[in-house]
Every structure is written in C-alpha cells, then in structure tokens.
Structure 1
Amino acid sequence: MSQKVIAVSSAFQKMTTQAILSIVFFLIVYVLLIVLGISITILAAYAGFQIIIVKPALITFMIGAGLLSMGILILIFLFKFLFSKKEVDRSHLVEITENEEPKLFKLIHEIVQEVDTQFPKKVYLSSEVNACVFYDSSFWSMFLPVKKNLQIGMGLVNSVSDIEFKAILAHEFGHFSQRSMKVGSYVYNVNHIIFNMLYENDSYNSLIKSWGGVNAYFTFFVSLAVKIVEGIQWVLKQVYEVVNTNYLKMSREMEFHADEVAANVTGSSPLITSLLRLDLASHSYNAVLDYYATKVSDAIVTDNLYPQQQFVMNFLAQKSKLPIDNNLPLVNIDHLSRYNKSKLKLNNQLSTHPSTEDRVAQLNHLNIVKQEKTILPARNLFSDSYQLEAKFTDKLFGMVNYETAVVKKDKESFVEDFTKNYHSNSFAEVFNGYYDNKQPVSFEDKDNEINDLASDIRYQDLFDDKKVDLVYTAFALENDKNTLLQIEKKEIVVKRFDYDGEQFLASESGEIVNKLEQELSQIKEEIFINDKKIFSFFLDAAKRKDKTEEFTKLYARFTNIDKDFDNKFDTYIKMINNTAFLYETTPFAIIEKNLVTLKVIEKEFKIQIQDVLGNDNYSDALSPEMQDNFSKYAAEDLVYFIGQEYHESKLEILFKAIHDYNDILSKSFFKAKKEFLDFESSLVA
C-alpha cells in the first residue's frame, strides 16, 4: 500500500515559488548572455571577414581568425556546462545485491512501496556514519529520467536499531517520493550550471592557454575573450547568490518534508532517537580513526573497528550520564544543546539542513505514533555484518602506507588504551564539565568572606547542571555579542539576522548587543559568586586535611601559567599569521616585503622561546628533539629566501619551532590545570 500524499507546508510552497522564480531569473539572464555571446561572435566574424576582403594578406587573415576565435571562446564558455557531468567517486564504496543481502533488500522494497518512489538503481555500502541517495547529475538529467543510487554507511548501521534504520532510509527516499519535491532537482541543477561556469574551469583555462599560444595575434584576442568572460562571470555571481540562497532555503524545507514522509512510515519517535544519536555516533567513529592515526608510526591496526566505535559511543554516553537501551545510548535534546547555547542565526549562513533541534521539534509537533515491532540491531538485516565491517576496516587501513609489518590490536587492548587516554586528557567527573572551557579562579585566603562561605557548602551544588549551564550560556553570549559587534561595524555583511527566534535588521545589532551585555553581566556575577564558593570549599577541605601548602603551591603554578599563556599564545598567533604567505604563490617583491615583517615578529618569538626554555613550568613538555631544533632556530638569523627560491631546510626549522612552541604551551597549560583539579577532586574522594 502506497503512502498518502503529504501536503506541503506553506513555508515549503513559499520557498518553492521563490526557487522557481530564481530559475526563471537565471534563464532570462542566461538567454541575454547567449544573445550577447552570439552577437559578439557574429560581429567579430563579420569584422574579420571585412578586414580580409579589404586587404587580403597573412596579417589580416590572422586578425580575422583572431576575432572569430574570440567569439567562439565566449560561446564555448557559455555552453560548456552541457558537456559537464558530475560523477560520484565510488572507489570507497562496495556494491551489494539482493542475492547477497535478501533481508536488507526486502526492507528497501517495503520502504519504496510505502513512500511511493522508485527502487534504487544500485545499492552501495560505505564505511562512514551516513546514508544518502545520489545520482550522476548533468544538465540533461533535468529532462531525462535518472535512477538514484542508495549509499549506506556501516558506521550508521552500527549505531541504530532496525526501526531507526528504516526511518533514516524512508527519509532519504522521501526526497524523491512526490512531484512537489522535483523542483529541488531543477534548482540543484541550475545551481550546478552556474557553479560550473564560475569555478569549474580547468579544461577551459587549458583551452585558453593553448589557443592563446598559437601566435601574438591570437594572444591579443584571447585576452579580450577572457575579459568578456570575466564580465559574464561577474553577472553570473550575482545570479548565483540569488539562486543559491533560494536553493538553501528550499533544501531546508525539503528536509522537513522528507522527515514527515519518514514519520508516516515509522512514526516520529524512531527518526527522533536516531537524529539525536548520530552526532555521538559520528564523533565516536572519528575518535577510533583518530586513535589509529596516532598509531601509524607503530603500524598498529585492528581487524574490525566497528565494535570499538560502539564501545566509545556507550563509554561517552555513560560519562554523560545518558541511559543505554538495547546497547544503544538514548541521547536527549537537552544533552545535544548543552554545549551550544547560541541564539544567533545569520541569514547568510544558511545550510542545506536545518538544525537537529529544529527537526526534532518539527517531528514532535507531528507526533505520529506507530506501533513498533521488537527492536533489534540494524546489523541483523545483513547476512554477515561482522564480515562486512572487517572488509571496510581493511579498506580503510589499506589507504595508509605503513613502513613496517602491521600489528593487529584486539578490542580489549583498544578499550584499555582508550580508557587510559580518556582519563589522562579529561578532568575529574566531580566537576561535571564545569572546567572543560573555563579556568579555575583564585581568591585571597585572607578575605573574610571566603572563610565565611566554607561552612555550609556541598560540592555537588557547586557543579550541578545549572552551574554548568551558566558557564556555557556565558560563553555563547560572549560569542553572539562579538558576532553582533562585527555586524554593527559591517565586518560581517548581512541584511537581517535571527536572535532567539525573532528577526532583526542589521542596523538593530547594537540594540541587541546592549541587551546581551546586561544579561552577560548578570550571569558572570552568578559565576563569580560560585567561583568564590568553589575556592572557599576546597581551601577549607585542604585545611582540614592538612594540605594547605600543596593547595597553594598547585594553585600558584597554574595561575602563573594561566597569566603567562595569553601573552605567549598571542606571539604564536602572530607567527602563524605572518608565515601564511609561505604556503601561497606570492610575487617575489611581496615575499621580500613579508620577510622583513616576519623578522620583526621573530625577535619577540625568540624571546618567548628563551623564556619557555628557562622556565620549569614548561620543562616536562620539552623533549630533546624540541630542544635541539630550538637551538638551531635561535643560533643564527635564518635566511628563508635566496635569489628566487625558498631555502626549504631553513623553513623546516622555522615551522617545527612554531609547532613545538604551541605544543609546549598547550601541554604545559593542560598539565598544570589537570594536576590542580585532580588534587581538588582528591579532597572530596
């Protein structure tokens, strides 16, 4: 039984109308450009022919041919997109068939029937945490029927239940289920046409270069063609802004529509739970890959990274106090938004997808309830999921060139190593994330208020969720305020922006900044009071355990590094900014000018390096290799550019010095902070 026709929302209708109008706008502009291009070609050909008629000679023939070539090159530019085809790279994919995976294909047949769309041309598996429907697009795909392909990531399969998996696939097919969705395909292709004419010009530029190299006459007329093409591109950039903006807006509404299609197949709940978990699943997958990236020099690999992904996902969920059901974390909306308190949305930062929070809110509003069958892992839909996971694991590690024979690490070894690394690089759980993006604050021990506060404080109250929310709210307000100040100064150019669900003109940004500053001031005062209580509590705890001296010493060490860090890190940023030109193709005169500026910054940088080398606070992070390179760097005034070439060996010393300097600062700062917080946590153990 096919699915009922789902009425499109008024917002979708509005976005579709705007998208259609943008297509019409493009067609009008494009037709005018074609008329202009043909007119230039005809006039150039006529002028060239007349020149040859008036005075037949080699030079007039070359001028005539040059004029004609100018027109032809303009026309080639205007029509080159007709022969452009965007093919999807399938090298990382593995095609599967119905004979190989009958249960999976049975599910896909069910979804296709319920959604009322076509069965995919081919079904592929990939290694990632995703699913998508794709096809090879070209200009002609707007007029000719093109069957879509389905791609399923094993990282996704490993992270969802069977009913959630069905909801995700139903969403993907929902994009192509009803006629109202086909406008999106047209807008996408128009967008692609303009993008091709603006930015995909490698073969055209090669043609220009070879054509212009024929002789001096052709070079002149080719240069004229290039100037005219640049003018056409300027016009197309204005059109692209209109079409792309409408495409992005409509794409967001299409996502809501596809969500509704999926909800009508499985109910709202399965898509909600999978959406909320996918960020954690993706983060866990990447955490496993990052772990093995650090083991490349030791040639350590594994047979199957997906059980390790699931371990990390559940491990991190437990650390965040999230419930786990059927071996899958149940992520709630509060957890998802805990670290992102921003209320600012800029109209020029639209993406093709609405936020997860907005999608969940829409699905909750639909509140479509379906009776769910027994929930099983999505991997049960595959004949041998472990074999497929191992195949993709081998495929991923096969992309790395190992210098020695690989050593395989089992899941137990990974779990032990990952857990150890996690605890080494995170703060004690008693702090509940309070200090993840905030530093401990010290106060005078002699302050009577500090001593008075210690009497009736429970440390659990100091780091509860409300206190942590204050920290992240302050962080978000500070960022939003800075962005709005940039809008007020016109450093960020937008016509409108949304704040807390309301729309404002750019000229109103200053008014919003004033409100944010008042709110921020109040929240900072609350955090300040809490920090006083924290200091008072742990100072009192240290006194009661006769550890005041250790408390004071560790606090002083962290405070010294904290005060020193900003100044030293500022020098690092200056070095990064003033060496950026070394990674770019730059005229010789500009290189020499930039090197003069760099030498001035280097004096400050070398002073800071010497301070780091002589400071015990940084000694633990300083390796012999770093010491050796710093000595080479400081020993002489290195020359990075000789004649017309860079001195690569000298640049290598410079870049390593910059990298090592930042590495020492970061590690030393974190170590001092962790040692102090670990000491504080031991006082309440």
Structure 2
Amino acid sequence: MTNNLPPISSTYRSKLISAVISVSLFFVIYLILILISLLMIFLLGYGAIRLVALYANYFTAIIALGLISIGFIVFYFLIKFIFKKNTYTTRHLIEIDRKSQPELFGIIDEIIRETKVSTPGKVFLSPEVNASVSYSSPFWSMFLPVKKNLTIGIGLVNSLTVGELKTVLAHEFGHFSQRSMKIGGYVNQAEKIIFDTVYNNKDFENSIKHGSGHWAFQITGVISVGFINVFQYILKMFSDFLFKNNASLRREMEFHADAVATYVTNPKEQASSLLRLELSNAAFNNAFMFYADSNNQYLPENLFENQTLLMKVFSERNNHLFEHGLPKVDLEDITRYNKTNVKIEDQWSYHPETDKRIEMIRKNETKNIAENNNLAKNIIRGYSEVCKILTSKYLTLYNIKSTGKIIDDNDLFLQLYNEKYPYRLIS
C-alpha cells in the first residue's frame, strides 16, 4: 500500500469510528441472539427427551417434536440469510480479458499501479451508465481474501473521453485503496441481515404458521413466530442507529474515493464526467423507455446510438456547447435531466450531491496528469458489435420480447421518438 495517496480526513475517521462502534454492537447483539437460539435448542430438546421418557406415547412424541422444532426454527431464522440465493445475474454482462480489450486493460493497469490495489478477478462490460467494483462473494469477503470484479458500463463509456473514463475507474478503485474501507463490507452485511430478518420475513413466517395442516405443528409455528418477533424487535432497535452511521460513512467514502481519483488523474476531467452523468443517464433511460413503452412494436438494434442521438437533442434544447465531441454540462444544468422513473442500480448508494463532490474535487491534491480528450468508445475494440450484443442482453434482462420492428436508422428513431414524446418549449 502506497503512502502517497491522500490520507483519510478527520471527518472520515470520526464517521469510521462511529460505524465501527455501531456495527460491532450489532454483531455482538446478533451473536447473543444466536447463542440464545442454541440454548433454546438445548433446553427444549432436553425437555422433549424428558417428556418422552416419562410419558412415551403418540401425543407426547408429537409435542416433543414440536418443542425441538421451535429451537431449530428460531436458529434458522437468524442464519437463513447465509443460504439466500444471490439474485444478481451476469446474463446482461460481457466478460472481457486483456487479449480482447488491450487498450481498456492498459488504463486499468495504470490505475492499479497508481493506487496499489489488487487486479480485479474479472472485468465485465455492462449496458448501464455506471461503473462499479464489487466482491464476487459478499458474505465470505468479510472473512476471506476474495477477488473483486470490475464492471464498466458501455452507457458510461459512450459519453466520456478516455481521460474522463480513467477518472471514473480511479474513483471505483479508490473505494478499495484503504484498508479502513473494509468496514463498509461489514456494515453492508449487517444491513442485509437486518433486511432479511426484520423486513423480508413474511413469507418465512407464513410458511411456518401454515406449512402443515397438523394442529400440533401449527401451534409450534405460532410459538416459533412469537420468539422470532421478539428477536426482530431487538434487531430493529439497532437498525436505525446502524443505517444512520452507515449513510454518513458512505458519504465520506465517496469523498475519499474522489480524492484518490483526483490525485491520480486531474480535477477537470473528473468534474466534467460527473456533470455529464445526469445527461447521459437521461438520454439512455429515455431511449430505453421509448422501446419499453412501444408494447413490443419497436426494438433497438443499437441502444447506445440512440443514447448518443438523444444526448445531442437534449443538449441542443438546453444550449449546451460541444467540446471534444461531447456536450459540456455546467454545474447549474445538472438538475434538469434526472426525471426518469427508470432506476440504475448503484451498489455505492448515499452519494453526496454532485455540487458538493465537485466543490471538494477542486480542493483535492492532484498530480494533474495531462488530459486525454479522445472518445472513450474508440478504445473499445469491436465497439459497434459490443453495443449490439449488450442492447440485446439489456432487453432480455427486462423481459422485452424480440417481436417488434428493429430500428436501425437514427433519423427514423428520432422521428418516432418525437411523435411519441413531443417536445414543448416552456416559456
């Protein structure tokens, strides 16, 4: 780990301490509840054995089985999140390697050398206007050295220069440039436990209560749910405290990742990439919504060409100048575009406001490396084909059937788009 990277701020340190205290307290309480559930298994099991030993008949055997079940049900309730299937899918991604995309990996290698983080286990291209670094196994990442995966959205690449793309990727790697960021993973797991046990437990409770028609097991289910509700109440008492501290910590994590990115790149490209993000998002989402709202009448051949076209249209409507082939968005413009109902998943929520981030970026220390104003899409080999493949994958992800007329002409798309969503100038 290099000592040249920006150190964490005093505010970050204080938020980190608060998060460590809150998550430590949560896991202590959680461990106590697990021990209580194990004690229940022992005591209820002992009572069941004694009951059958004293009065061995069908009735006592059913009661004994019910008593043992209560302890195991409560214990499973506390640990069932471990066995929950990860719903995240990679079917909308394309895995790439150094051989297929050497120029992109060259940028990744530069960032790795600067930040001294480990090489990603896998690198994916996604359709989204986003980039992220994530653990392939979130739970075991708390205890084992698990490789991180890097996902780069082509919707993002489509609206950046090479220099801007490097700042975005440097930000993502900046999240892992300090060991102290490991606490974010623990807090995230604590939140998952709370969500699964407190807020996402109705199906489990109903299956326990009504899973069997036998009266004895129904009574067992009711008693088990009673214990579960008590445990839920205890866990919920700590959730608000944990969530509040985690939100504060994540905001500081974003500022710190920005500081790392500023240091190894430059503030101008970092700010311009952030400022164009809402416009890029709006263009991509509006293009996608056109097809989603067409009731399978139309399909895109290349959704990213449509995104580029709408970026140009929105820029003309809002008098944005073009610089290096991309719209130049000013700070006062950023609130205009985020009006779509389509939500892009962002595994680093609680982001600070863009204006606050830019204010801090301009104060950060930087090596101020030379700008690279070439379009980022030009470094992706086979870019057009990649865009078409990801377009198809994105439609499949949202269960849009391949039955409509394929729109492969930008002029036709713009005509149909304006017919469906006529623009009215507001005076």
Normalization by structure 1: what TM-score?
0.57
Quick check: 2:51–2:64 contact (8 Å CA) kept in 1?
yes
Sort the Cα spacing of 1:410 and 1:377 in 2 relative to 1 into closer, same or farther, 3 A: same
2:66 is paired with a residue of what secondary structure? helix
Alignment of 1:10 onto 2:10: yes
Q: Give the SS at the match of 1:176.
A: coil
Describe the superposition over 1:377-401 as per-residue Cα deviations: whole angstroms up to 9, x where unpaired.
0012111211211222233455422
Alignment of 1:428-507 (within 5 A): 431=427
Contact 2:15–2:245 (8 Å) recurs in 1: yes
Distance in 2 (CA, whole Å) between partners of 1:401 and 1:43 is: 56
Question: Greater Rg, structure 1 or structure 2?
Answer: 1
Q: In structure 2, the residue corresponding to 1:149 is in which secondary structure?
A: strand
Q: Which runs of 5+ in 2 are unaligned?
A: 339-347
Distance 2:126 2:146 in 1: 22
Q: Distance in 1 between matches of 2:145 and 2:336?
A: 45
Q: CA deviation at 1:51?
A: 2.3
Contact in 2 for aligned 1:3/1:115 (Cα 8 Å): no
Aligned to 1:253: 252
8 A contact 1:300–1:409 mirrored in 2:
no
Match of 1:384 in 2: 382
Residue 261 of structure 2 aligns with which residue? Answer: 262
What is the Cα deviation at residue 52 of structure 1? 2.2
Task: Give how far 1:294 is off.
Answer: 4.1
What is the DSSP-based 3-state SS (H/G/I as helix, E as strand, rest coil) of the residue aligned with 1:112? Answer: helix
Q: Offset of 1:408 from its aligned partner?
A: 3.2
Change in CA separation of 1:168 and 1:74 when aligned onto 2, cut-off 3 Å: same
CA RMSD of aligned residues (A): 2.6
CA deviation after TM superposition for structure 1 residue 140, in Å: 2.7
Structure 2 distance, partners of 1:87, 1:335, is 36
Partner of 2:215: 216
CA contact (8 A) 1:314 1:327 kept: no
1: CA distance between counterparts of 2:244 and 2:393?
A: 38
Residue equivalent to 2:341: none
**CA separation of 1:101 and 1:202: change in aligned 2, threshold 3 A:** farther
Amino acid at match of 1:64: A
Instruction: Give 1:150's aligned residue.
Output: 150
Report if aligned partners of 1:130, 1:155 keep a CA contact under 8 Å in 2: yes
Structure having the larger proportion of residues in helix: 1
Equivalent position to 1:358, from 352, 356, 359: 356
Partner of 2:311: 313
Query: Within 1, Cα distance between the matches of 2:49 and 2:416?
Result: 79
What SS is found at the alignment partner of 2:36? Answer: helix
Task: Quote how far apart the aligned CAs of 1:200 are.
Answer: 4.4
* Alpha-carbon distance, 1:208 to partner: 2.4
SS at match of 2:95: strand
Q: Secondary structure at the match of 2:362?
A: helix
Name the counterpart of 2:228: 229
Q: Which residue of 1 aligns with 2:345?
A: none
In 1: Cα distance, 2:369 partner to 2:334 partner: 27
- Going from structure 1 to structure 2, the CA distance change for 1:336 and 1:50 (only over 3 Å counts) comes to same
- Indicate how the Cα distance of structure 1 residues 403 and 390 shifts in structure 2: closer, same or farther if over 3 A, else same: closer
Asked if the contact 1:194/1:240 (under 8 Å) is kept, the reply is yes
Instruction: Return the alpha-carbon distance in structure 2 between the equivalents of residues 138 and 407 of structure 1.
Output: 39
Q: Distance between the aligned counterparts of 2:58 and 2:418, measured in 1?
A: 80
SS in 1 for 2:363: helix
Partner of 2:65: 65
The residue number in structure 2 matching 1:568 is: none
How far is 1:16 from its partner? Answer: 0.6
Matched residues in 2 for 1:369 and 1:264: separation? 5
Partner of 2:151, secondary structure, is strand
Residue 195 of structure 1 aligns with which residue?
195
Q: In 2, are the aligned partners of 1:133 and 1:148 still within 8 Å (CA)?
A: yes
Could you say which residue in structure 2 is the equivalent of 1:329?
327
- Aligned partner of 1:118 in structure 2 is 118
Residue 391 (structure 2) aligns with? 393
> For residues 296 and 164 of structure 1, do their structure 2 counterparts lie closer, same or farther at Cα, with a shift above 3 Å needed?
same
Counterpart in 2 of 1:540? Answer: none
Query: In the alignment, is the contact (CA less than 8 A) between 2:133 and 2:151 conserved in 1?
Result: yes
The CA distance in 1 between the partners of 2:318 and 2:355, in whole Å, is 19
Partner SS state of residue 137, structure 1: coil
SS at structure 1 position matched to 2:358:
helix
Aligned residues of 2:93 and 2:393 also touching (Cα < 8 A): no
Distance 1:228 1:102, change over 3 A: same
Q: Which ranges in structure 1 are unaligned for 5 or more consecutive residues?
A: 341-349, 432-685
- Flag the 1:389–1:2 CA change in 2: closer, same or farther, 3 A: farther
Please tell me the residue identity of whatever aligns with 2:45. A
- Letter aligned with residue 191 of structure 1: E
Q: Deviations over 1:259-288 (max 9, x none)?
A: 011101111111111001000000011121
Match of 1:539 in 2: none
TM-score for the superposition, normalised by structure 2? 0.89
1:293 matched to 2:292? The reply is yes
Higher RCO, 1 vs 2 (CA within 8 Å, ≥6 residues apart): 2
Partner residue, 1:467: none
C-alpha deviation, 1:80, in angstroms:
2.4
Distance in 2 (CA, whole Å) between partners of 1:3 and 1:388 is 39
Deviations 1:393-431 (A, max 9, x none): 233455422556x24340122234445666x43126xx3
Instruction: Return the alpha-carbon distance in structure 1 between the equivalents of residues 136 and 86 of structure 2.
Output: 6
Offset, 1:105: 0.9
Alignment partner, residue 660 of structure 1: none
- Tell which deviates more after alignment, 143-152 or 412-421: 412-421
Q: How many residues align?
A: 416
Q: 1:34 to 1:301 in 2, by over 3 A?
A: closer
- Distance (Å, rounded) in 1 between the aligned partners of 2:135 and 2:147: 7
* Structure 1 counterpart of 2:373, from 342, 364, 375: 375
Displacement after TM superposition at 1:164 (Å): 0.3
1:175/1:215 CA distance change after superposition, 3 Å: same
CA distance, structure 1, for counterparts of residue 251 and residue 68 of structure 2: 46
C-alpha separation between the residues in 2 aligned to 1:305 and 1:62? Answer: 61
Aligned to 2:125, what secondary structure does the other structure show?
Answer: strand
Work out the CA distance in 1 between the residues paired with 2:2 and 2:17.
27
Cα distance in 1 between the residues matched to 2:73 and 2:293: 50
Aligned to 1:370, what secondary structure does the other structure show?
coil
Aligned to 2:342: none
